[in-house]
Amino acid sequence: MELQGKHIVLGVTGGVAAYKAAALLRLLTGAGAGVQVVMTEAATRFVTPVTFQALSGRPVFVDQWDPRMANNMAHIDLSREADAILVAPASANFLARVAQGLADDLLTTLVLARECPLLVAPAMNRQMWENPATRRNMALLQEDGVSCLGPASGVQACGEQGEGRMLEPEAILESLAAFFTPKCLAGRRVLMTAGPTFEAIDPVRGITNLSSGRMGYAIARAAARAGARVTLVSGPVSLALPLGVERIPVRSALEMHGEVLARAGEADVFIGVAAVADYRVEQVAAQKLKKEAGGPPEIRLVPNPDILAEVAALPRPPFCVGFAAESENLEEYAQRKRQRKGIPLLVGNLIQDGFGGEDNRVILFDDRGSHPLPAASKDLLARQLIAHVAQLLEKD
Ligand code: PMT
């Protein structure tokens, strides 16, 4: 789990978005974090502490003079255990108070007395967010090292449209996980492929495969979290784009080939996760093939270019990572594929483990031999692969 062992103080301030803090709390605990909720008085007008108490399994603190703390030092004790304080939603009033160093309730006192990082997810009406006073306060906070998550723009609770909405809980979780990830690929440009390709037969039919894109998208997310600039050339999948990743959507292997080759010269790392069709239809029918045409149609196939092999053969190639999905003899076939394509690292998986699903089992093959990783979620394997790539890059 991505936040396993982390202790987070979740600050909730007064705003309509306080109801989304309950969903955020669930995501944080689901990701393995221990969460202590601290609310401002105003926040309790929107959601009761009981909700957060039930979801976190811990008492919720609001009052600086709470008698439950034997030493009356809630502001010190609650923050000392924390790896980070995350305030979501953070109101304009809260940002102003923290920017000025005020400590006039438990949450602001806790923030002033902290030794850990502070992240805020602002949420307010668009004019409050655009007000020069709020901008000044936010700039001051950022100068002081506070991380600002969002805000997003869209329709607001007041019915107006603009910037000031709190980021969705999933995006806040993603930003927090990225915050804790070591930046082992900082400054590196990673170009990737993911998903299947679709080779048209006629306007409605085609040849494709069962790749869901999950493995590739997990790697893109892990690389972005590790500080890389990630461009993902993606076949047709229905997955949400990981935060901070640029997606170039393509359909066929030829389109994927064109988009990758146009960018490969600038990449430091190329990772080919896509299940690319080895062949395409020579003559795509302009009209739908008709049954009445007499007998089954004859479809002639011609080979597609090998994208990975072409990138690896460039005069100054990026560090290339290939994938191999095999139904048997994984070690033998994968090693052979790595040599044939001339790449330093290849990730082998069995098709029954890799295609579809949330989990996978992979073996990494490089110059030093083979390194099997225990079966795990694609997210965890992606993080391990990125750490391995970063190590190899350092030695390169
Ligand atoms: O998307 P998921 O459902 O999560 O599944 C993940 C996966 C099983 C698709 C993935 O883990 C995987 O194994 N991807 C490679 C699939 C494959 O069979 O590749 P291949 O053996 O055909 O090709 C080997 C390598 O060459 C791959 O890096 C591939 O991207 C690349 N290739 C292949 C053919 C081609 N024309 N151009 C290429 O670049």
What's the mean pLDDT when you consider all of the chain? Answer: 95
Which atom of ligand 1 lies nearest, measured to the CA of 362? 11
Q: Is 234 in the pocket of ligand 1 (CB under 6 A)?
A: no
Give the DSSP letter of residue 150. -
Query: CA 270 to CA 323: how far, in whole Å?
Result: 11
User: Each residue of 156-170: pLDDT tens digit?
Assistant: 887 888 899 999 999
Q: Is the CB of 89 under 6 A from ligand 1?
A: no
Whether 158 sits among the annotated catalytic residues: the reply is: yes
Which numbered atom of ligand 1 lies nearest the CA of 278?
A: 36
pLDDT confidence band for 72 (50 / 70 / 90):
low
Q: Is 275 close to ligand 1, i.e. is its CB under 6 Å away?
A: yes
Q: What are the tens digits of pLDDT across the range 271-302?
A: 999 999 999 999 999 999 988 767 888 999 99
Determine whether the shortest distance from the Cβ of 306 to ligand 1 is under 6 A.
yes
Name 327's Cβ contacts closer than 8 Å, sequence gap at least 6. Answer: 350, 351, 352
Say what the pTM is.
0.89
Interval 182-239: pLDDT, tens:
999 999 999 999 999 999 999 999 999 999 999 999 999 999 999 999 999 999 999 9
Distance from residue 287's CA to the centre of ligand 1 (Å) = 31
* Tokens found for residue 110: 């806790």
Q: Tell me the three state secondary structure of residue 272.
A: strand
Element (H, E) at 301: strand 301-303
Report domain extents, the chain.
Answer: 7-180, 189-395
Ligand 1 atom nearest the C-alpha of 307 is 39
- Ligand 1 centroid, distance to 291 Cα (angstroms): 33
CB-neighbour burial class of residue 70 (10 A; exposed 0-12, middle 13-18, buried 19+): exposed
SS3 153: strand
d(CA 137, CA 240): 33
Q: Which of 228, 185, 235, 173 is nearest to 210 (CA)?
A: 235
Identify the architecture of domain 7-180 in CATH: 3-Layer(aba) Sandwich (3.40)
User: Which ligand 1 atom is at minimum distance from the Cα of 304?
Assistant: 36
Active site residue: 116, 148, 158, 184, which one? 158
Q: Which of 339, 303, 305 is nearest to 324 (CA)?
A: 339
User: Three-class SS of residue 173?
Assistant: helix
> Half-sphere exposure of 334 toward its Cβ, with a 13 Å CA cutoff?
29
Tell me how far the alpha carbon of residue 187 lies from the centroid of ligand 1, in angstroms: 26
Surface-to-core class of residue 144, CB atoms within 10 Å of its CB (0-12 exposed, 13-18 middle, 19+ buried) = exposed
Asked if residue 142 has pLDDT above 90, the reply is yes
Query: How far apart, in whole angstroms, are the C-alpha atoms of residue 204 and residue 225?
Result: 38
Handedness of CA 205, 271, 269, 183 (dihedral sign): positive
Residue 276 alpha carbon to ligand 1 centre in Å: 6
Best mutation site among 255, 269, 323 for ligand 1 pocket (most ligand atoms within 8 Å of CB):
323
The per-residue pLDDT for 367 is: 87
What share of the chain in percent tops pLDDT 70?
98
Strands 362-366 and 319-326, bridge-based pairing: unpaired
In which band, very low, low, confident or very high, does the pLDDT at 130 lie, cut at 50, 70 and 90?
Answer: very high
pLDDT value at residue 71: 66
Answer whether 236 contacts ligand 1 (Cβ < 6 A).
Answer: no
Same fold? 7-180, 189-395: yes
Angle between helices 214-225 and 378-395 (to 10 degrees): 50
* 324 close to ligand 1 (CB < 6 Angstrom): yes
pLDDT category of residue 70 using cuts at 50, 70 and 90: low
229-255 pLDDT tens trace: 999 999 999 999 999 999 999 999 999
356 CB near ligand 1 (under 6 Å): yes
Indicate the SS3 state at residue 254. Answer: helix
- DSSP for 37-99, written as a single string: EEE-TGGGGTS-HHHHHHHHTS--B--TT-TTSTTS-HHHHHHHT-SEEEEEEE-HHHHHHHH
Distance from the CA of 323 to the center of ligand 1, in angstroms? Answer: 5
Helices (H), 183-327: 214-225, 253-264, 307-312
**Shortest-distance atom of ligand 1 to CA 274:** 30
278 in ligand 1 pocket by Cβ < 6 Å?
Answer: yes
List the CATH code of the domain at 189-395: 3.40.50.10300
From the CB of 256, is ligand 1 less than 6 Å away?
no
Tell me the pLDDT tens digit for each residue of 84-121: 999 999 999 999 999 999 999 999 999 999 999 999 99
Angle at 323 between CA 318 and CA 325, to 5 degrees: 165
